[in-house]
Amino acid sequence: MSLLKIRNLGVEFPTAGGPFKAVDGVDVDVAAGEILAIVGESGSGKSVSMLATMGLLPWTATVTADELSFDGRDLRRMPPRERRNLIGADLAMIFQEPMSSLNPCFTVGFQIREALRKHTDLTREGRHKRCVELFEMVGIPDPERRLKAFPHQLSGGMNQRVMIAMALSCRPRLLIADEPTTALDVTIQAQILDLLTGLQKETGMGLILITHDMGVVAETAERVAVQYAGQKVEDQPVGDLFDHPHHPYTAALLAALPERATEKRLPTIPGVVPGQHDRPAGCLFSPRCKFADERCHTVPPPVQPPAIGQARCHYPLDVPAHAEQVSA
Amino acid sequence: MADASSQTGRTLIDADRPGRLAEFWSYFRENRGAVIGLYVFTAFLLTAIFAPLLAPYDPSQQFREATLQPPVWQDGGTWAFPLGTDAVGRDMLSRLIFGARFSFFVGIVVVVVAATGGILIGLIAGFAPKWLDTLIMRLMDIILAFPSLLLALVLVAILGPTLLNAMIAIALVLQPHYVRLTRASVLSERAKDYVTSARVAGAGRVRMMFVTVLPNCLSPIIVQAALSFSTAILDAAALGFLGMGAQPPTPEWGTMLADAREFVLRAWWVVTFPGIAILVTVLAINLMGDGLRDALDPKLKRS
Amino acid sequence: MSDAATAARPVIEAENLARRYEVGGGLFREPGIVRAVEDTSFAVHAGKTLAVVGESGCGKSTLARLVTMIEAPSAGRFSIDGVEVTPERWAELRSDVQIVFQDPYGSLNLRQRVGAILEEPLKINRPRMKAAERQEKGREMMRLVGLREEHYDRYPHMFSGGQRQRIAVARALMLEPKLLVLDEPVSALDLSIQSQILNLLNDLQQRMNLAYLFISHDLSVVRHVADDILVMYLGRPVEFGPKSEIFDAPRHPYTKALISATPSADPSRRQERIKLVGELPSPLNVPPGCPFAPRCWKAEDTCRENRPRMEGAPHPAACFFPEA
């Protein structure tokens, strides 16, 4: 049974030029103990959909969903108070910029203790002990001293470890990591990714990794959801996705990776992600897709069955012989 | 080469993305107070421009037979003088309408003088070596440390009490705000890549200051200009009230208030109308300034 | 490049380049010295790409500022096309070296039209050129980088990130430079746009015989574009050699760790990574010996006390115990 289940999630922002659909019909399923990566370029709505799940979007955003449940409990109908208790305890999130996610006015120890005070009924000493324990768990040397440090006295990698410690403080069952290593150097990125996957195995929590880096996906994820312009276009186990992408966008994206290039000239995806004012009528990828025909330009594509990677495409690529294809 | 260029060539930048002006207006419009402020300000501006056409009488024409006549809706008022007359029988309405001219004139001149000087000094401070920067900023701090009206008073006392001198004094008092604002934006803009890029292209210091950096610093300065417009009107009125600004019989709102001081108890209209005129104008401009800030400050923008 | 002698001469040649900053000096405190770049030597030939690789604080951006003549080196020398660079000659050498920055949103002046952005370098450096001629060149350059000429009068905010980066490249090429410094030119771009820009840079290099100084932290991109690689750590070069040698047989442990830490987009090749312990030391107190010693798994006492020099074969590396 999936831990987090989202059906047909939509997020809309009012802007100067009319409403903007940032997320459109996204489904997410994560089971406990699973690592799901959500990949996409900027503007694909990958962060927005998770922020919507957490209830962290500004009030101007309109969030709609057919289902939005965590562990069988409906998040939409939950009273705000209960939802706040759930978020932070069972559902935790870490962000890209560790420096700005921590309050610079307080020591990191104070900030973790604060989280513990809100969500647990530990005593003062209990909280302190748990802090030390957490810091050891995320590999921060000399925890007693580091608890007294302010965020600006720690490096980016250390701050990200603090964020992870804080997220783990209440033993969450699902951790959402939004580009957790993008702001960090490669050697530090490797450390943080190892830490995250290690902790995930150790605690058996679910992990959603939002990223744009295909390398990070390949090395850490078990299942991958690819998003494009606010829609999920493909969802497959990581090995299958890299070997047999079904959606032309995924295929083109993988081909464009410099390390997969066979010659000096890289295969490219022409054009840019459609913006607010130039969303095509049919398939959102059709203006950039080399396989697109008239139907793609006019008819929104169906979502193919799991055997074809849930590809949102009229003409999925590399269809296995036994799989049944649906058409719109 | 060919295929890359033709491919991106096809990706049109769509035409109906809102232009900068339209975007500005849509942000501005969200703030209802600002829109009202804008309307009032426009009315004020038109009044100032067309004062001779709008005013029923000459502002200094005295009707000896009708001194201190109350406004039309009160006993003894007539339609000849809808807002009444003052102690020497001048029509209040005409004086108020012409007063708009002076207030507007004061605002414009003060803002132009203060902003030009302030921006220039701020730019220099932002680009200057550290010692000159420190010198300029400490000087500005000293000016800011004086109570502004007091400093203006002292200046007027030295220069002599005329409207022109009052404007110079107010401009001088307001200038440090522009200096600080400009310097702060210059310093933050200077760290950006496009400035480095201009340097790599070989741009000289003057070009960097005026062509590269200055246009990017203008948003906060425009907001400050709008807000100091109202400060200027207010300060000019205050100086006028203290007898240090425009001299009678100039129909300046502050001076009108001063002239009417002794009749406050007998004829409320002689002080109330100029007071309301100042209040409404200043409030409208401040509201408009807030709207400008919302629309121009990228930090407050919602995406 | 008519005769063989000029063809063999590198476009840029740097020897022991260094840049130090004084920081935090107060009335009563000795200022600290940050050695942003120390002892860096390299050369780039026309039509070739030298990639400078390293993590934050390794001095690669400072190197870019030195090479583009925004700052003068504290020590060492470099020459452009055989001409020794001194601050007096900056103005005349300007047009030979241009730069493209990482962030296409910050590197274009938002208050200028594309046309003005492109023409500005000409206006400054070729004051006698006629306006019509300048515009013709600007339009030609727009075509060259794959933008539509009709957009000549638009403002940068109307373009996407990739298109803006094309504008930035076009501007850098307006003066027909010999060397283009590319400071993380694709790091801020989306994957699908990244390949477009990399192709463009490749095409332009071949067409104009440009030398590139490609600064990047992304080894998968570097592997694709570079001919030679200079690996830096804490302001010092640690390894310098041809791409194939660096990737196939890295000599310095840091290079090896860097390559192993770079995630590869191939789920079947999840390898055991070399785990580096600890973090970058503060640039204010670089360890006296090898700067990498505190994080190195091979470090011995001599590493902590003595500074290794760039030496050895087949390519130089600054390590007492190189891999090969």
Rounded to 5°, angle at Cα C121 from C115 and C126: 115
Task: Give the chain A residue whose CA is nearest to the CA of C270.
Answer: A219
Taking contacts as CB-CB distances below 8 angstroms, the residues of chain C near B194 are: 106-110
Give the count of beta carbons closer than 10 Å to the beta carbon of residue B282: 19
Query: Can you tell me whether residue C108 is helix, strand or coil?
Result: coil
Helix (H) or strand (E) segment spanning residue B230: helix B214-241
How many CA atoms does the CB half-sphere of B17 hold within 13 Å?
Answer: 15
Q: Which chains touch A (3 or more CB pairs under 8 A)?
A: B, C
Task: Give the chain C residue whose CA is nearest to the CA of B189.
Answer: C106
**pLDDT score of A297 more than 50:** yes
Residue C312 included in any domain = yes
Contact A187 C257 (CB under 8 A): yes
Q: What per-residue confidence (pLDDT) applies to A298?
A: 92
User: Above pLDDT 90, what percent of chain C?
Assistant: 50
CB contacts under 8 A, B 16-55 vs A, are 16-18, 22-23, 26-27
Average pLDDT over residues A233-250: 93
Rounded to 5°, angle at Cα A241 from A236 and A242: 160
**pLDDT score of B286 more than 70:** yes
The fold adopted by the segment(s) B90-258 is MetI-like fold (1.10.3720)
Q: Locate A147 and state its tokens.
A: 């608890």
Taking contacts as CB-CB distances below 8 angstroms, the residues of chain B near C68 are: 200
Give the count of beta carbons closer than 10 Å to the beta carbon of residue C292: 26
Residue C323 included in any domain = no
How many distinct structural domains can be found in chain C? 1
Contact A270 B303 (CB under 8 A): no
Residue C118 included in any domain = yes
Write the residue in B4, B11, B17 that is nearest to A17 by C-beta.
B17
Nearest to C292 by CA among C216, C236, C245, C249: C236
Task: Give me the residues paired with residue C323 across strands.
Answer: none
Q: What is the domain extent for residue C93?
A: 4-318
pLDDT, one tens digit per residue, over B234-252 is 888 888 888 888 887 888 8
Could you tell me if C257 and C58 are in contact, meaning their C-beta atoms sit under 8 angstroms apart? no
Helix locations, chain C, DSSP H: 4-8, 60-67, 90-93, 114-125, 131-144, 161-173, 191-208, 219-225, 243-248, 253-261, 301-305
Contact A191 C276 (CB under 8 A): yes
More confident residue, B237 or C6: B237
Q: Does A80 touch chain B (CB under 8 A)?
A: no
Could you tell me if B213 and B200 are in contact, meaning their C-beta atoms sit under 8 angstroms apart? no
Kindly report the three-state secondary structure assignment for every residue of chain A: CEEEEEEEEEEEEEECCEEEEEEEEEEEEEECCCEEEEEECCCCCHHHHHHHHHCCCCCCCEEECCEEEECCEECCCCCHHHHHHHECCCEEEECCCHHHHCCCCCCHHHHHHHHHHHHCCCCHHHHHHHHHHHHHHCCCCCHHHHCCCCHHHCCHHHHHHHHHHHHHCCCCCEEEEECCCCCCCHHHHHHHHHHHHHHHHHHCCEEEEEECCHHHHHHHCCEEEEEECCEEEEEEEHHHHHHCCCCHHHHHHHHCCHHHCCCCCCCCCCCCCCCCCCCCCCCCCHHHCCCCCHHHHHCCCCECCHHHCCCECCCCCCCCCCCCCCCC
pLDDT band at B15 (very low <50, low <70, confident <90, very high): very low
Nearest to A35 by CA among A163, A216, A185: A216
Min Cα–Cα distance to chain B from C102, Å:
9
Residue C324 to residue C213: CA distance in whole angstroms: 27
**pLDDT score of C277 more than 80:** no
Write the residue in B8, B16, B26 that is nearest to A16 by C-beta.
B26
Residue C95 to residue C174: CA distance in whole angstroms: 9
Query: Can you tell me whether residue B100 is helix, strand or coil?
Result: helix
Mean pLDDT score across all residues of chain C: 88
Residue B233 to residue B171: CA distance in whole angstroms: 11
Q: Which chains touch C (3 or more CB pairs under 8 A)?
A: A, B
Residue B26 to residue B38: CA distance in whole angstroms: 14
B interface toward C at CB cutoff 8 Å?
A: 1, 4-9, 13, 17, 20, 192-194, 196-204, 207, 212, 215-216
Residue C46 included in any domain = yes
CB contacts under 8 A, C 40-69 vs B, are 65, 68-69
pLDDT, one tens digit per residue, over C82-139 is 899 998 888 889 889 999 998 888 899 888 889 999 999 999 998 899 999 999 999 9
Of C111, C123, C193, which to mutate for an interface test with B (greatest number of B Cβ within 10 Å)?
Answer: C111
| Contact partners, residue A262, CB within 8 Å, separation at least 6 | none
Residue C324 included in any domain = no
**Between B and C, how many CB-CB pairs are < 8 A?**
91
Taking contacts as CB-CB distances below 8 angstroms, the residues of chain C near B1 are: 144, 146, 203, 207
| Contact partners, residue A56, CB within 8 Å, separation at least 6 | A93
Q: Does B298 touch chain A (CB under 8 A)?
A: no
**pLDDT score of B16 more than 60:** no
Q: What per-residue confidence (pLDDT) applies to B219?
A: 84
Min Cα–Cα distance to chain A from C17, Å:
25
Write the residue in B4, B197, B204 that is nearest to C99 by C-beta.
B197
Q: Locate C88 and state its tokens.
A: 């007096």
Q: Does C157 touch chain B (CB under 8 A)?
A: yes
Residue A314 to residue A248: CA distance in whole angstroms: 10
How many CA atoms does the CB half-sphere of A249 hold within 13 Å?
Answer: 30
Contact B13 C154 (CB under 8 A): yes
**pLDDT score of B1 more than 50:** no
- Phi and psi dihedrals of A245, rounded to 5? -65, 135
Write the residue in A185, A215, A256 that is nearest to C263 by C-beta.
A215
Q: What per-residue confidence (pLDDT) applies to B8?
A: 38
Taking contacts as CB-CB distances below 8 angstroms, the residues of chain B near C101 are: 193, 196-197
Amino acid of residue B273: F
Q: Which residues of A257-273 are buried (b: 16+ CB within 10 A; e: fewer)?
A: bbbbbeeeebbbbbbbb
Task: Give the chain C residue whose CA is nearest to the CA of B192.
Answer: C106
**What ipTM describes this predicted complex?**
0.86
Q: Which residues of B48-61 are buried (b: 16+ CB within 10 A; e: fewer)?
A: beebeeebebebee
Q: What per-residue confidence (pLDDT) applies to B303?
A: 38
Distances (CA, A) of C301 to C288, C289, C321: 12, 9, 12
* Domain boundaries of chain B, sorted by first residue: 90-258
Contact B202 C94 (CB under 8 A): yes
pLDDT band at A122 (very low <50, low <70, confident <90, very high): confident
Q: What per-residue confidence (pLDDT) applies to B195?
A: 93
Q: Does C162 touch chain B (CB under 8 A)?
A: yes
Contact C162 B8 (CB under 8 A): yes
Query: Can you tell me whether residue B78 is helix, strand or coil?
Result: coil
Q: What per-residue confidence (pLDDT) applies to C1?
A: 43
Taking contacts as CB-CB distances below 8 angstroms, the residues of chain B near C99 are: 196-197, 200
- Is the full-model pTM beyond 0.80? yes
pLDDT, one tens digit per residue, over B45-79 is 999 899 888 888 888 888 888 888 888 888 888 88
Contact C192 A185 (CB under 8 A): no
Q: What per-residue confidence (pLDDT) applies to A80?
A: 83
Could you tell me if C222 and C45 are in contact, meaning their C-beta atoms sit under 8 angstroms apart? no
Contact A214 C191 (CB under 8 A): yes
pLDDT, one tens digit per residue, over C134-190 is 999 999 999 999 888 888 888 888 888 889 999 999 999 999 999 999 999 998 888
Mean pLDDT score across all residues of chain A: 89
Task: Give the chain B residue whose CA is nearest to the CA of C146.
Answer: B5
pLDDT, one tens digit per residue, over B190-200 is 989 999 999 99
Contact A188 C279 (CB under 8 A): yes
More confident residue, B92 or A18: B92
Residue B295 to residue B219: CA distance in whole angstroms: 9
Average pLDDT over residues A119-131: 89
